[in-house]
Amino acid sequence: MGLSISDLRKGMIILYQGELYEVFEYEHNKRGRGSAVASTKLKHLKSGKVTSETFRGFEDTSTVFLDSRELQYLFHDGDNYNFMNVATFDQFPIPKELLGPQAEFLVEGTVVIGYYYKSDMVKVDLPNFTTLKVVRTEPGVRGDTVSNVDKPATLETGVVVRVPLFVKEGDHLKIDTRTGAYVERV
């Protein structure tokens, strides 16, 4: 017996066709007299590919519970980011592909959550927000007061984000790691 479509939720990890997926988007539809369907977008945990799937009734899928561990970011070399298990002090590399674009916001000492399935790491969650220092940006032009004008700023990790004109070099900014967007000056 599989998982009912009414049990699916956004953010849930499922085992579908022998692979682990995160339910990225979910919409439950009931049309007239027909049976209910669930339109989903599934993100493959290893590759990061997003696919669209439509489920009807019970599917040959099941919920998966992942073991989580706190990990501390140490440094990176090439395409590997080195972490330490906070509980055991074991150090190990994580490939950039597993971290995704959020890796650009990692600074030394950041604590993340690593998720494991059958002792294999399948997902890493960074904190939703991080504070980074601006190392390079052009000064704002005096008198340029048009609303919603922004400029590029290079942060201490090398990532470039769009910021308001009043931001200057040396400022510390709160950044949303999920979107890469500037939130506020700290």
* Whether the predicted pLDDT of 1 surpasses 60: no
| CATH 2.40.50.140 placement within the chain | 67-125, 129-185
| Residues 85-102, mean pLDDT to the nearest whole number | 89
The residue behind tokens 């900014």 is 173
Q: How far apart are the C-alpha atoms of 74 and 95, rounded to whole Å?
A: 14
Q: What does pTM read for this prediction?
A: 0.75
CA 183 to chain CA centroid, Å, is 17
* Whether the predicted pLDDT of 140 surpasses 60: yes
Q: How far apart are the C-alpha atoms of 183 and 25, rounded to whole Å?
A: 24
* Whether the predicted pLDDT of 17 surpasses 90: no
> How is domain 129-185 classified at the architecture level of CATH?
Beta Barrel (2.40)
CATH number for region 67-125: 2.40.50.140
**What was the pLDDT predicted at 143?**
58
**What long-range pairs does 149-152 form, CB within 8 A, spacing at least 24?**
150/182
| CATH 2.30.30.30 placement within the chain | 3-63
At the top level of CATH, which class does the domain 3-63 belong to? mainly beta
**How many distinct helices (H) and strands (E) make up the chain?**
1, 17
